Chain A
Amino acid sequence: MNAETKALPLVEMKDVSIAFGGIKAVDHASIDLYPGEVVGLLGHNGAGKSTLIKVLSGAYKRDGGEILINGEEAVINNPRDAKKYGIETIYQTLALADNVDAAANLFLGRELRTRWGTLDDVAMEAQARRVMGRLNPNFRRFKDPVKSLSGGQRQSVAIARAIHFNARILIMDEPTAALGPQETKQVGELIKQLKAEGIGIFLISHDIHDVFDLADRVAVMKNGQVVGAGPVSAMTKDEVLGMIILGKCPPGATPGPGAMAA
């Protein structure tokens, strides 16, 4: 998807900054995302990519800058706010409550209720069976706490939770870190499928090959600043590595504030 052809970005983060005790974790970062587009967010550990994304998902409150959703200023102070805008996140740490079962995790914070206001566990289990059947047909352990599941099964619970509620903007923070090759391939296919449905996806990854396979554009961060962003087709892997390691912005990308002075 070319940025030029779409007038209105789904998400536009402008000049976002956040500091923890004097350390600027994110420093005037700007980044955008269009419907049906996958934007890969790359950078070293501690480059600020997870922090930037947590500002969008409501886990952190930004110190400065603004977030526009569909061109309108969005107020995101906590994860509940973010979900109202259709922003769903799959965290690196998976963020599951280990002691309850898959259905309880899937619906955590959005439980289905009977007409008396009590939890409708059977209905939730039924929907969980349906969505898990799509993601991971071999999944059977609906009654067990997720603690006892394998890494891949836990991952599918986390993904199911993100896609089950009609997300428009999906943030995937290292979605394949805990997975084997087969499951990684499944996640890749899922991303393509979601993209086709018009969902915008931020894909945070260490794996530059993953990002080149799946993303339309990449944005690179270093020391809390955006080095540059541009379409994958206009860059080579080496150029992107140069951005990550040296902060050197290649001609195919638009330089950001973090780009090394030429």
Chain B
Amino acid sequence: MTDAAEVRTAHLLATESPLKRFFRATEIDTRLLGMVGAMLVIWVGFQIFGQLLTGEGVFLTPRNLWNLLVQTSAIAVMSTGMVLIIVMRHIDLSVGSMLSFVGVLTGVAQVYWLAPWLGADNPMIWVVGVAVALGAGAVLGAFNGFLVAYAGIPSFIVTLGGLIVYNGAAWWVIRGETVAPMDGYFELIGGTPRASWIGSEASWALGGVICLAIIAGVVLNRSARARFNFPQRPLWAEAFLILGGCAVTLGAVWVVNAYAWPPLIAERYAKDHNIPVPPGGLIYGHGFAIPMLIALGVGVVMTFLATRTRLGRYVYAIGGNPEAAELAGVNTRKITLLMFMTMGILVGVAACITAARLDAASNSLGQFDELYVIAATVIGGTSLAGGVGTIYGAMLGALVMQSLQSGMTLLNFDSAVKDVIVGSVLVFAVWIDQIYRRRQS
């Protein structure tokens, strides 16, 4: 039986065009490739446009790309949760105001309660501060989820109400003040202070570990399929996946390392550590910053949750056919509650990154973030009809959104024009995606 299938597949492989054969054999998502292509076009476009307009293209510099990654991290973190919410045919409009409320809570906790009580610079402050943010996010998210799953109120309404309520709650807590500064350790989460850059060596090491993980993943998958005599990918396709994955990883490491510390910081570091300064100055690479690592970690955990656990499987099944999932014995209400709670925890993570990066908390934190998160998720290929969407797609969507915004900021676009363009791109991207999907089926 399997022989016949293999013969047929082999036949297919032999008769179709080389490009098609390549995609079939490597099982690469062509949609993803399209998105990466679009992003590269945006990047090169801004580079050329900047060169023409100002005589100096700054978009494709290590410095800008590094900043881009830091700026993307909060939205990327939240988009991983939004994917699963939208896959389940729900929506969460409250993430922006929830972020501001949670950010304000952790700010107030650090500055007004913990610092006077434990003394400033106590290393417990950031731990409790983060716990407050994650805990508050979990509680608020679970409350949203409870209203959706058990009270049966549509998620659009619950979270629209939440948007207004949390916005008011944030104002209510601090009356429009700005709470600053955050705890010194907490600040590291935002990626601004020097100690939050892990440096060249650690970045290469991390890159190496990721490459090893890619190789291990491919090999393990192969051996698992061999155990059951399933058809395998051709060896050249496996090799391509490994080489491609490692090249992208090491390329990213190279870029973040190529962005050198500002000379003044390098000088002071040298003085503090009694390092002689050679002629031409000391060059230290930034390497990855903590918020990038957080986003990467969240991406890995959420991808694992979505693809390797029962919870993730149920989320997709509910999105495909809620009635079927219920009839198959899936506790759809519990899953819905859990996913809204997960979304809330991710908002807590994003609130820490945002507040730490600003080194301040105010009720304007996270304004309009819900729109950017949903836009990133949808650009990343998540269908609002439910059932379809990937974590990596949404994170890439966040990067595309942020690239547009940063690129236009670098070129001194008027903020009104920026909004017009970002909104139009969102609609355009979804339109292109619709055409693509229709041609596929």
Contact = CB atoms under 8 A, between A and B. Distances in A.
Interface of A: 57, 59, 78-80, 83, 89, 91, 93-100, 104-105, 108-111, 113, 117-119, 122-123, 125-126, 129, 133, 137, 140, 145, 148, 161
B230 A108 contact: no
B320 interface: yes
Given A97-B316, A122-B225, A125-B228, A108 B309 contact: no
Contacts of A108: 313, 317, 324-325, 328-330
What 3 A-B pairs come out closest when comparing CB atoms? A99-B320, A97-B320, A99-B387
A109 B328 contact: yes
21 contacts: A59-B327, A78-B329, A79-B327, A79-B328, A91-B327, A99-B319, A99-B320, A99-B388, A104-B317, A108-B324, A108-B328, A108-B329, A109-B325, A109-B329, A117-B309, A118-B308, A119-B313, A123-B228, A133-B1, A137-B1, A140-B8
A118 B309 contact: yes
Given A89-B327, A97-B319, 12 more contacts: A78-B329, A95-B327, A96-B321, A97-B321, A99-B320, A104-B316, A108-B313, A108-B317, A119-B310, A122-B227, A122-B228, A148-B441
Contacts of A123: 228
Interface of B: 1-2, 5, 8, 224-225, 227-228, 230, 304, 307-310, 313, 316-321, 323-331, 387-388, 441
A94 to B, nearest CB: 8
A97 B329 CA distance: 13
A202 to B, nearest CB: 16
A109 B334 CA distance: 13
Contacts of A93: 323
B228 A110 contact: no
Nearest to A116: B308
A95 B328 contact: yes
B308 A119 contact: yes
A95 B316 contact: no
A97 B325 contact: yes
Contacts of A99: 316-317, 319-321, 387-388
A94 B7 CA distance: 32
A119 B316 CA distance: 14
Nearest to A108: B328
B313 A111 contact: yes
